[in-house]
Amino acid sequence: MNRTAMTIVASALVVMMTVSMAFALGDGNGRKGKFLYRKNCRSCHDGKSAADLSPADRTQAEWKATFADMGKIKCSDGWTISKEELNDIYTYLYEYAKDSPSPAKCS
């Protein structure tokens, strides 16, 4: 195989691995996540108690990085939600991020 063909194959593999990893992290229920976000997060992230926050405030990569390191989320210590519910919230935020096919119009 020549150098160009190897580069194309390697690039394709990287893209496929990245896409599959993104789907693995966002395998929750985005519809349920929207409900949980409004119930658990929006009550504080209203612009008064904490900074106003919408899915479209960050890119998919930024949401992924935020949830990859829960220590970055200052209020996470007091959460009483399950890992499944957290994954649903992540899926909602990721699916409606500002660079997603369907960015959120409002939260």
Residue pLDDT, tens place only, 21-48: 444 556 899 999 999 999 988 888 888 8
Give the domain extent around 16. 3-95
Residues of the chain below pLDDT 50: 12-23
Residue 103 maps to a domain: no
Residue 106 maps to a domain: no
Q: Which two tokens stand for residue 43?
A: 């009550």
Residue 105 maps to a domain: no
pTM given for the model: 0.70
Q: What is the CATH number of the domain that holds 7?
A: 1.10.760
pLDDT of 35: 95
Residue 68 maps to a domain: yes
Domain count of the chain?
Answer: 1
pLDDT of 32: 97
pLDDT of 6: 58
